[in-house]
Chain A
Amino acid sequence: MTETEQYNFAYLDEQTKRMIRRTLLKALAIPGYQVPFASREMPMPYGWGTGGVQVTAAVLTPADSLKVIDQGADDTTNAVSIRKFFEKTAGVATTTRTGEASVIQTRHRIPEAPLGEGQILVYQVPIPEPLRFLEPRETETRKMHALEEYGLMHVKLYEDIARHGEIATAYAYPVRVEGRYVMDPSPIPKFDNPKMEMAAIQLFGAGREQRIYALPPYSRVVSLDFEDHPFEATKADHPCALCGAEGSYLDEVIVDDAGGRMFVCSDTDFCAGRRAAGHVGKEGGA
């Protein structure tokens, strides 16, 4: 018996997967609404993607090719350990190529390359409730969603403008789905918000908070803003130092003790693909 055969396919027991699968179908039927589910203990701590892992386990099939990214990178601890987890427990193929993956689990980024039909993007969500920092009581936020009472969120964005001259929220920027539910897009940079209107299925799992929500393909996802302060998808105003990309989201990397820094693509597969195709940034030579 191989190590993979010692696990039930994709780790979770069938009873748990049925419960998560029912939740996923209701989540797709009510886009942006957070459906409660009986989140399980996973063999990793909360905050390391237990919600995303449970959703991925419930949707994986033996034929899938899985990609896992953390802040855009395939080679960080969180991404590597989750990828290994599913290699071991589901025996599925894994890849780092965005275009070849059928299921992509992500922490805090949407890949630069557009996703297509047949792909599923699974987000790891720490705090699914967009109103949580404005109203700590679950009983109240639940009522606010039921009554479509989102004035408080606009007050928060307005206070940003009053204090900073602009909306200072740079990540986990709240969106409104299909004109109804206000949703937390997970802590993706607001640069990624416009990409959420896509052809792939987007599923969100919050393990500690026990919530799952979803966006069907082509759903209308509008970032909240004001007429005179329209939403702006911002990024560092540089090209990538390695591949020269002008339009990708960048990480700032400190390279020495004298304040030296460089900006590189946060999506490592996108950057590597461009460099393989011959694009070179100003520090990308040799």
Chain B
Amino acid sequence: MQVQALTGGFDDAPRAAAIAFRAMLEAMARPGRIFDIAGAAPPAPLSVAAGTALLVLADGTTPVHLAGGHDTADLRDWITFHTGAPLCGRAEASFAVGGWQALLPLDDWRIGQPDYPDRSATLIVEMAALVPAGARLTGPGIETEHRLGLPEVAGFRANAALFPLGLDFLFTAGARIAALPRTTKVEAG
């Protein structure tokens, strides 16, 4: 294990996690709106936002999958040291992190059961940038419409059609985060 794995956590865990979580709560409650989030300093290629989200949410009870280029030794060590989350295959993951292409196909992930729709995976999608333009989002949490640049539309529409089952998404770029729960209707912008 490199020294790098031991650094990059929260300076003041209770307060930093509380502030970061508030941004995530607002993001999930207002799909498509972009919020600032910071606190973690993870090794590349994990973004600050994705690293912070994992520190806030992941622990020994939540298997994490590192997809594609995110499956590096540095990152495995960092997540293991800071969260204690077991690293796992796609079918068991509570959280998965990676680029959009690496996370496909979406039917690899847990979508919950009819009596426990909450037992589904949350995918943390690393983006080059988050832009408030593009796909048109409507649904719970959105007064009229929000706009967010998404990697595609069809996958999110198919996911929304599974409601109340389905996946929930966090989009991260740098120190910014947005969310797309399964309830949001997505139309091409």
Interface of A with B (CB < 8 Å)?
Answer: 8-10, 14-15, 17-19, 21-31, 33, 35-36, 58-63, 117, 120, 142-143, 145-147, 178, 180-181, 199, 201, 214-220
Given A15-B59, A30-B117, are A9 and B141 also a contact pair (CB < 8 Å)? no
Residue of B nearest to A27 (CB): B118
Name the distance in Å between B184's Cβ and chain A's nearest Cβ: 9
Tell me if B25 counts as interface (CB < 8 A to partner A): yes
- Which positions 33-78 of chain B face chain A at CB distance < 8 Å? 56-59, 61-62
Question: How far is it, in angstroms, between the C-alpha of A15 and the C-alpha of B55 when the chains are bound?
Answer: 11
Residues in A with CB closer than 8 Å to B19 are: 61-63
Choose among B13, B59, B142, B168 the residue that contacts A218 (Cβ–Cβ < 8 A): B142
**Pairwise interchain contact A142-B26, C-beta atoms closer than 8 A:** no
**Pairwise interchain contact B117-A33, C-beta atoms closer than 8 A:** yes
| Further pairs besides A30-B117, A36-B116: 14, Cβ < 8 Å | A8-B14, A17-B17, A18-B58, A18-B59, A25-B57, A25-B168, A59-B21, A59-B22, A62-B18, A143-B115, A214-B29, A217-B140, A218-B140, A218-B141
Tell me if B181 counts as interface (CB < 8 A to partner A): yes
Question: How far is it, in angstroms, between the C-alpha of A8 and the C-alpha of B22 when the chains are bound?
Answer: 18
Q: In this complex, which of A19, A29, A35, A60 has the most chain B Cβ atoms within 10 angstroms of its Cβ?
A: A29
Choose among B62, B143, B164 the residue that contacts A22 (Cβ–Cβ < 8 A): B62
Residues in A with CB closer than 8 Å to B141 are: 28, 216-219
Question: How far is it, in angstroms, between the C-alpha of A161 and the C-alpha of B128 when the chains are bound?
Answer: 58
**Pairwise interchain contact A217-B29, C-beta atoms closer than 8 A:** yes
Nearest 10 CB-CB pairings of A with B: A216-B141, A9-B14, A29-B181, A146-B114, A26-B118, A216-B140, A219-B140, A146-B115, A29-B168, A35-B118
Name the distance in Å between A141's Cβ and chain B's nearest Cβ: 10
**Pairwise interchain contact A33-B164, C-beta atoms closer than 8 A:** yes
Q: In this complex, which of A14, A24, A178 has the most chain B Cβ atoms within 10 angstroms of its Cβ?
A: A14
Choose among B18, B24, B61, B118 the residue that contacts A30 (Cβ–Cβ < 8 A): B118
Name the distance in Å between B169's Cβ and chain A's nearest Cβ: 10
**Pairwise interchain contact B115-A14, C-beta atoms closer than 8 A:** no
Residue of A nearest to B19 (CB): A61
Choose among A10, A14, A217 the residue that contacts B30 (Cβ–Cβ < 8 A): A217
Choose among B17, B26, B163 the residue that contacts A201 (Cβ–Cβ < 8 A): B26
Given A31-B140, A199-B143, A217-B30, are A24 and B18 also a contact pair (CB < 8 Å)? no
Given A18-B56, A216-B29, are A31 and B183 also a contact pair (CB < 8 Å)? yes
Interface of B with A (CB < 8 Å)?
Answer: 13-15, 17-19, 21-22, 24-26, 28-31, 56-59, 61-62, 94, 114-118, 120, 122, 139-143, 163-164, 168, 181-183
Residue of A nearest to B167 (CB): A29
Residue of B nearest to A24 (CB): B25
**Pairwise interchain contact B56-A28, C-beta atoms closer than 8 A:** no
Residues in B with CB closer than 8 Å to A22 are: 57, 62, 94
Question: How far is it, in angstroms, between the C-alpha of A220 and the C-alpha of B142 when the chains are bound?
Answer: 11
A-B contact pairs, 29 of them (CB 8 A): A8-B14, A9-B14, A9-B15, A14-B17, A17-B18, A19-B59, A19-B61, A22-B94, A24-B25, A25-B25, A25-B28, A25-B122, A25-B168, A26-B118, A28-B28, A29-B181, A29-B182, A31-B140, A61-B19, A147-B114, A201-B26, A214-B29, A216-B28, A216-B30, A216-B140, A216-B141, A216-B183, A218-B141, A219-B141
**Pairwise interchain contact A10-B14, C-beta atoms closer than 8 A:** yes
Name the distance in Å between A86's Cβ and chain B's nearest Cβ: 12
Residues in B with CB closer than 8 Å to A58 are: 21
Residues in B with CB closer than 8 Å to A117 are: 30
Question: How far is it, in angstroms, between the C-alpha of A199 and the C-alpha of B143 when the chains are bound?
Answer: 8
Choose among A36, A145, A178, A201 the residue that contacts B29 (Cβ–Cβ < 8 A): A201
**Pairwise interchain contact A30-B164, C-beta atoms closer than 8 A:** yes
Residues in A with CB closer than 8 Å to B183 are: 29-31, 178, 216
Name the distance in Å between A133's Cβ and chain B's nearest Cβ: 20
Given A30-B117, A201-B26, are A21 and B57 also a contact pair (CB < 8 Å)? yes
Residue of A nearest to B55 (CB): A18
**Pairwise interchain contact B25-A59, C-beta atoms closer than 8 A:** yes
Residues in A with CB closer than 8 Å to B182 are: 29-30
Name the distance in Å between B41's Cβ and chain A's nearest Cβ: 18
Question: How far is it, in angstroms, between the C-alpha of A51 and the C-alpha of B139 when the chains are bound?
Answer: 27
